[in-house]
Amino acid sequence: MADSSNYRVKKRRRRDQETDYQNRLSLLKNGKPRAVVRTSNQHTRVQISEFEREGDRNTAQTVSKQLEEFGWDHSTGNLPAAYLTGFLAGMKADTDKAVLDTGLRSIKAGGRTFAAVQGLNDAGVHVPVGEQMVPEEGRLHGEHIEEMKDVEISDDVESVKESIEGELQ
């Protein structure tokens, strides 16, 4: 610690690198719900959150593990699973606009975060992102995985998508 009186201890969530308060404040000031996308090695989580004074309220939340209920029997940590997770969250959402909240994670163009955003957009929740950030259609449907492995994923993506639409409409 510093010896001068000008030193101020940062908030705990900032010290633990969990919250960027300046970024959060700018997202909250626009008044729109936030599309919160978090990825791990095995799962993708998508939440539609609205600010309330007592704490954020999640109006729709989905984890890629829930895709198994709709017939998804492949890995839940890949690009098509992230797309379907975003699509499922978008079908559950009660809003038609949101802003992307990626937290403190560094994001990569064409990654799972933007696959989930494309799923939200396809489900009817408009989340503005640049076209260069979204993965190409073939990658969203798993064609890059089909080339590496001897599995059919693109047909499964479409069947799970139809299953989600049929159950949630």
Q: What is the mean pLDDT of residues 110-116?
A: 94
Q: Residue 4 has what pLDDT?
A: 66
- In whole numbers, what is the pLDDT of the chain averaged over residues? 87
Give the pLDDT confidence score for residue 153 in this predicted structure.
85
Q: How many CA atoms lie within 13 A of 128 on its CB side?
A: 4
Distance CA 101, CA 120 (A): 13
- Dihedral (CA of 128, 133, 136, 139) sign: negative
**Residue 14 or residue 35, greater confidence:** 35
pLDDT score for 31: 82
Joined together, the tokens standing for residue 91 give 């079908």
Domains within the chain, CATH numbers bracketed: 14-168 (3.30.420.100)
- In this prediction, residue 6 carries a pLDDT of 81
Measured distance CA(106)–CA(108) in Å, rounded: 7
* Tens-place pLDDT, residues 79-109: 999 999 999 999 999 999 999 988 877 888 9
Out of 30-34, 47-51, 105-109, 144-148, give the one with best mean pLDDT. 47-51
Report the distance separating Cα 79 and Cα 164, nearest Å: 17
Residue-wise pLDDT tens digits, 121-151: 999 999 999 999 999 999 999 888 888 877 7
Question: What pLDDT is attached to residue 17?
Answer: 67
**9 vs 70, which has greater pLDDT?**
70
Q: Is the pLDDT of residue 56 over 90?
A: no
